[in-house]
Structure 1
């Protein structure tokens, strides 16, 4: 059985980005996705964190997502980065970046949180 993962991208950035960096890292199990090693992983959702986030999270939970990766651009450009990570961690494991290093060029360390509730 594969581990289901979702990626939340910064809404404003998604308006002009092809999301190639995030997808390449996922497909190659590089950068933040290296942690899965030989595990079978499935990208269940790839969307932005704007709009009705609660509805998106409910859909992820209903469909068995266990981990949410916040995109590297969310870490760098979204003032709500920490609160989005905290909200997601109420039900999911959270990895606060997708590609590049766990520490940004500006020195911001990616948040990594374990879910505060049991996975179903």
Structure 2
């Protein structure tokens, strides 16, 4: 059983309810298709917006997720498509979590640093 957290984009969250992420999780679709029904979503947070501290802020939120048992973090599809720190989030969070680089709407973009 996976214990999942999602990090979405603060800027996009101003106009998005997160329903696409929740629908994909609840239907075990897109990036959640391989999870069993026992898997739980424990946390849904957003970054703190685009700033020079974005990576540190996301790491801080991820550390709090770890404290409540999250073992897998999904970066939302909006982070994948809009965030200049997407690759850094992937590589940094991958040190302590299984990281999936999207939630819904397409296949995962490859981490440029992993190639």
TM-score by length of 1: 0.79
Higher RCO (C-alpha under 8 Å, 6+ residues apart): 2
Measure how far apart 1:54 and its partner are: 3.0
- Preserved contact between residue 5 and residue 65 of structure 1 (Cα < 8 Å): yes
Structure 2, unpaired ranges of 5+: 49-53
Q: Which runs of 4+ in 1 moved over 6 A?
A: none
Farther off after superposition, 88-97 or 55-64: 55-64
- What is the CA–CA distance in structure 2 between the aligned matches of 1:68 and 1:43, rounded to whole Å? 10
Matched with 2:28 is 29
Unaligned 5+ segments in structure 1 are: 104-108, 112-120
Q: Which has the higher strand share?
A: 1
1:85 counterpart residue number: 90
TM-score (norm. length: structure 2): 0.82
Residue of structure 2 aligned with 1:56, choices 45, 52, 61: 61
| Superposition deviation, residue 90 in structure 1 | 1.3
Q: Greater helix share, 1 or 2?
A: 2
Task: State the distance in 2 between where 1:49 and 1:89 align.
Answer: 17
Work out the CA distance in 2 between the residues paired with 1:91 and 1:13.
26
Count of aligned residue pairs for this structure pair: 104
Give the match for residue 41 of structure 2.
Answer: 43
